[in-house]
Chain A
Amino acid sequence: MTSSIRLKTKTSNGVTTVRAIIRHPMETGFRIDSDTSELVPTHHINNVTVKHNGSVVMSCDWSRAVSKNPYLSFMFKGGNAGDKLELAWRDNKNNTDSVETLIV
């Protein structure tokens, strides 16, 4: 199965820009399923954590109001080409996924 996460980095002048897209429905609990006419239960990512060489650089808590297939970008200093970068998410049903990449 392919990963739910696409993770990319770009480093210039000592600053690494991290960009990620996560495939996730991010259901608010307000949407009505057109087939069953019933409300689709809330289903959303509530935490995303990014580690650089094993230590956390960014951790975020999300409500259901982050858009479907969430996009996230942030920047940090001290990343070098070849360093490990890991992104992991967890949702309100305790599903998880993570991916590891090398900084470029």
Chain B
Amino acid sequence: MLRRDTLKYLASGSIVLLSGLLKPITALAKWNDDAFSAVDYDEAIAAYFSNQEIKESDQITIGVHSVVENGAVVPVKIKTDLPNIESITIFVDKNPNPLIANFDLFPSCVGFISTRIKIQQSSNIIATVKSDGKIFSTRKFIEVHEGGCG
């Protein structure tokens, strides 16, 4: 009996140890499920930036057509002159999940990102930039004729 108890104790101990070891690995991956699955723009922003203050900035430009025929493929370019950029994040406020994509830029990167996204209906595209540890954002309204989430 004693042996069995010891084994049990050892087994539970090793599980604790193992979960302790696994944590830093998942932290590295840092997929923010709360923010990516949020269905409301304010919720997505709050989950992603843990309620940090976000300032409007005129040093971010969103290059996108203001009228879009096909929401399935919307080319978007984000440029910024802000210093020490850590990340650029794209939101679309009326999409089923407003958080579209986050780009972590390492120190050698230029403040630029270009991609193509899906937009379901006429919405604001919001680009946020983390610069010197602070968060800045700008937005642009675009009209979408045919939704792109189907």
- A: residues with CB less than 8 A from B are 15, 28, 30-32, 46-47, 52, 55-68, 70-78
Contacts and interface: CB of A to CB of B under 8 A. Distances in A.
A61 B101 contact: yes
Contacts of B72: 67-68
Q: Is the interface of A mostly helix, strand, loop or mixed?
A: strand
Interface of B: 29-32, 36, 72-75, 92, 95-97, 99-106, 108-110, 112-119, 148-150
Contact of A64 (B73, B97, B119, B150): B97
B106 A63 contact: no
Nearest to A15: B110
Contacts of B92: 65
A33 to B, nearest CB: 12
A74 B117 contact: no
A77 to B, nearest CB: 5
A56 B112 CA distance: 16
A38 to B, nearest CB: 14
A65 B108 contact: no
A57 B103 CA distance: 11
Nearest to A55: B106
A52 B105 CA distance: 13
A30 B101 contact: no
